[in-house]
């Protein structure tokens, strides 16, 4: 999934979470489920971000190895 789409999904989910959890306790089961869902989205974003950076940095590492030989 594209990083911008993931960021948009996180923002939309966060707005939904704010509306639903307004005035509720952090220990409310609905709030806990929403927080877990948000954590999952953020985890997926960070995972995709790291993978994208690894792919972008890979050619640079290979270039420096080739120069050393």
Residue 69: the pLDDT is 47
Residue 42: the pLDDT is 94
Q: How far is CA 34 from the centre of its chain?
A: 15
Query: Where exactly are the structural domains of the chain?
Result: 3-55
The H-assigned helical ranges of the chain are 3-21, 29-68
The Cα 4–Cα 49 span in angstroms is 10
At a CB cut-off of 8 Å and minimum separation 6, what does 4 contact? none
Residue 52: the pLDDT is 83
Residue 46: the pLDDT is 93
State pTM to two decimals: 0.71
Point out the residues of the chain with pLDDT beneath 70: 1, 55-69
Helix (H, G, I), strand (E, B) or coil at 61: helix
The Cα 31–Cα 20 span in angstroms is 8
């Amino acid at each position: 999934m594209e990083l911008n789409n993931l960021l948009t999904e996180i923002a939309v989910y966060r707005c939904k979470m704010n509306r639903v959890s307004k005035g509720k306790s952090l220990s409310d089961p609905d709030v806990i489920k929403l927080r877990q869902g948000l954590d999952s989205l953020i985890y997926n974003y960070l995972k995709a971000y790291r993978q994208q950076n690894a792919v972008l940095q890979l050619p640079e590492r290979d270039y420096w190895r080739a120069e050393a030989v």
